[in-house]
Homo-oligomer: A and B are copies of this chain.
Amino acid sequence: MIAVEAMKRVCGNNIVTPKGFKATGIHCGVKHKKHDLALLVSEVPASVAGVFTTNVVKAAPLLVTKESVEQTGKMQAIIINSGNANACTGKQGMLDALTMQKETAKKLGIDQNLIGVASTGVIGEKMQMEPIIKGIRKIEPNDELEGSINFSQAILTTDTITKNTSYTAVIDSREVIIAGAAKGSGMINPNMATMLGFMTTDANIESVYLQQALKTVTDKTFNAITVDGDTSTNDMVLVLANGLANNESLTPTHPDWEKFVQALQAVSQDLAKMIAKDGEGATKLIETEVLGAVTDTEARKIAKTVVGSPLVKTAIFGCDANWGRIIAAVGYSGATVDPNAISIQIGNTTVVENGEPVLFSEPNLIAYLKQPEVKITVQLHQGEGAGVAWGCDLTYDYVQINATYRT
């Protein structure tokens, strides 16, 4: 779906590779031992775009950051803690988020309005501000690989791996870099929701157009993943574009606009898939592609319903080619479907053709389902709409992680 010739993925690059960005992460003491405080800084104020959780209950840092994004369109640094979400923490929570913003501004000598704040972790517990404030005073970001590794570790909660990616695109004959880091794992049903994503680019683009580009790609990437259907109170994706690549300012009429959007989409899609694959307790990435829907939106809705079905997820965990659960999920997705026109493939094996079961080799399909990535394709024969969604299997470990999260 993404035209790869327009940009290229660059291995080893990371959120400090675009010109003028520094980052790091440290252990400040909210968590017992692990890194729990991260800072990202741009040399100059950057255009910013953000998408935020649709949950009516929004965490304090999210409200603070959203206001900055909307008021100024500019951001120069983001301070993030893990271990405590600072959500449902009342008035004190708002004061704590503002203190994080103010301390970071003081530390960096920049305006408080230019600081984003993000938190992730347990909901409903007051912040321990002493370690956070001490941490902010001592954290020293750098533009080395090591800084970005520490950053991407410090934003994690139950994630098992760090999530980084980077693409370049040539815009006005200049190389523009877009990079990103994210965390996910649980409470993942973005809409925009349920994870933290931070993208950096040295592209020159005003925030209004950056917001437009981010909105477009978010629906096809971060909003197309689900781990457990729960939409978090804290999730946000922020993109900082500091303009240091010195291209002519990007707008939708710029000849290289699509290249930029595609590179942004590529970064977002990589991060989204990494989040789905590293869902709590997951052993497999499930990708569902829906073709022949009435619209692209309906196709994505069906795809997301299939990857979100607990029965599909447990069947795939058990390497069970129980396609009845897939067609049942298609049926209750709420989208327009004709039961007698549905065809389903698991990998390359057709299991249903126009609503009728097809004989297939069960051992072959079981062997396929043992792979770490499983692809389901649903053809509806209703129209031209197409869409993809990503999820993961539902395992004993998901239950284990979430039954004992705070203990």
Chain A interface (Cβ within 8 Å of chain B)?
A: 54-58, 85, 87-91, 122-126, 186-187, 189, 193, 228-233, 309-311, 314-315, 317-318, 320, 322-325, 327-332, 337, 339, 342, 352, 355-357, 394-396, 398-400, 402-407
Q: Are A315 and B403 in contact (CB under 8 A)?
A: yes
Q: Are B124 and A318 in contact (CB under 8 A)?
A: no
A331 CB contact (under 8 Å) in B55, B311, B323: B55
Q: Are B314 and A398 in contact (CB under 8 A)?
A: yes
Taking CB atoms, residues of chain B closer than 8 Å to A400 are: 396
Q: Are B318 and A402 in contact (CB under 8 A)?
A: yes
Q: Are A124 and B320 in contact (CB under 8 A)?
A: no
Cα distance A394–B324 when bound, in Å?
22
Taking CB atoms, residues of chain B closer than 8 Å to A87 are: 324, 328
| Nearest B-chain residue to A122, judged by Cβ | B324
Q: Are B357 and A405 in contact (CB under 8 A)?
A: no
Taking CB atoms, residues of chain B closer than 8 Å to A396 are: 396, 399-400
Q: Are A399 and B394 in contact (CB under 8 A)?
A: yes
Taking CB atoms, residues of chain B closer than 8 Å to A310 are: 228-230, 310, 398, 402
Q: Are A324 and B85 in contact (CB under 8 A)?
A: yes
Given contacts A56-B337, A327-B123, A398-B314, contact A231 B332 (CB under 8 A): yes
Given contacts A57-B339, A125-B324, A187-B328, 8 further A-B contacts (CB under 8 A): A56-B337, A57-B328, A57-B330, A88-B324, A90-B357, A122-B322, A228-B310, A320-B403
Cα distance A327–B87 when bound, in Å?
10
Taking CB atoms, residues of chain B closer than 8 Å to A309 are: 229-230
Cα distance A325–B124 when bound, in Å?
9
Q: Are B311 and A228 in contact (CB under 8 A)?
A: yes
A357 CB contact (under 8 Å) in B124, B317, B337, B356: B124
Q: Are B394 and A328 in contact (CB under 8 A)?
A: no
Taking CB atoms, residues of chain B closer than 8 Å to A189 are: 332
Cα distance A122–B187 when bound, in Å?
30
Q: Are A352 and B88 in contact (CB under 8 A)?
A: yes
Q: Are A230 and B123 in contact (CB under 8 A)?
A: no
Q: Are B124 and A230 in contact (CB under 8 A)?
A: no
Taking CB atoms, residues of chain B closer than 8 Å to A230 are: 309-311, 325, 328-329, 332
Cα distance A403–B315 when bound, in Å?
5
Identify 7 residue pairs between A and B in the complex whose beta-carbon atoms are under 8 Å apart, listed by A's number: A56-B330, A122-B322, A228-B310, A230-B328, A231-B328, A320-B406, A322-B405
Min CB gap A396→B, angstroms:
5
